[in-house]
Amino acid sequence: MSNELSYFPLQRMKTFSLLAVLLGMLTAGALAAAPVPMTDFNKTLVAASNQQKLAFILLGRSTCGICNATRAMIKEGRINVTAADYVMADLNIDNPRTEAVFMQRYGKQKFGDTLPFVVVTDSHGKLLASSGGPKSAAQWNALLASAKRKTGAKG
């Protein structure tokens, strides 16, 4: 009888421990999740300012294989663009107004001639880092770390 009674508190403890671990994993996953991309350049900068976050702005197109690979690396968490630290814009270069606004503000940067064009700004829209073309996750993460260092935050 005593063995039977001692089993239930032990089983409850195991269940509680399992639930605590699962909750911790879900919470960590939510914090590390990629931000939902915005499609308006100006609204992205306003959101970054309001939330005191960096902005990760990607200018590309939906038919661009390199752009899609970059988006996938962000979504998979291989590129450290997280909702906790960034507001993200995914802008369409085929929209003439969007391209004009982006290039007016950041067009003097050396992006090369291969999409995507990416800029990382502080919460006020000040350019911290920029790049273009194909990159590995490690290269994108080095760019992000460089941008964060310019703000005084850890990379």
Burial 107-140 (b: 16+ CB within 10 A, else e): eebebeeebbbbbbbbbebebbbbbbeebebeeb
Q: Which pLDDT tens digit goes with each residue over 4-15?
A: 555 555 565 555
> At 60, is the pLDDT very low, low, confident or very high (cuts 50, 70, 90)?
very high
Alpha-carbon span 59 to 65, nearest angstrom: 13
Q: Which positions ≥6 away from 127 have C-beta within 8 Å?
A: 106, 109, 119, 120, 121
Q: Which positions ≥6 away from 136 have C-beta within 8 Å?
A: none
Alpha-carbon span 36 to 26, nearest angstrom: 18
Mapping DSSP to helix (H, G, I), strand (E, B) and coil, where does residue 114 land?
coil
> Is the CB of residue 93 less than 8 Å from the CB of residue 58?
no
Q: Which residue matches tokens 């630290």?
A: 85
Q: Which residue matches tokens 């996938």?
A: 72
Q: Of 137, 136, 115, which is closest to residue 65 (Cα–Cα)? A: 115
Q: Which pLDDT tens digit goes with each residue over 64-74?
A: 999 999 999 99
Q: Is the pLDDT of residue 2 over 70?
A: no
Chain-centre distance of CA 96, in angstroms?
Answer: 25
Q: Which pLDDT tens digit goes with each residue over 92-138?
A: 999 999 999 999 999 877 788 899 999 999 999 999 999 999 999 99
Q: Of 131, 132, 128, which is closest to residue 150 (Cα–Cα)? A: 128
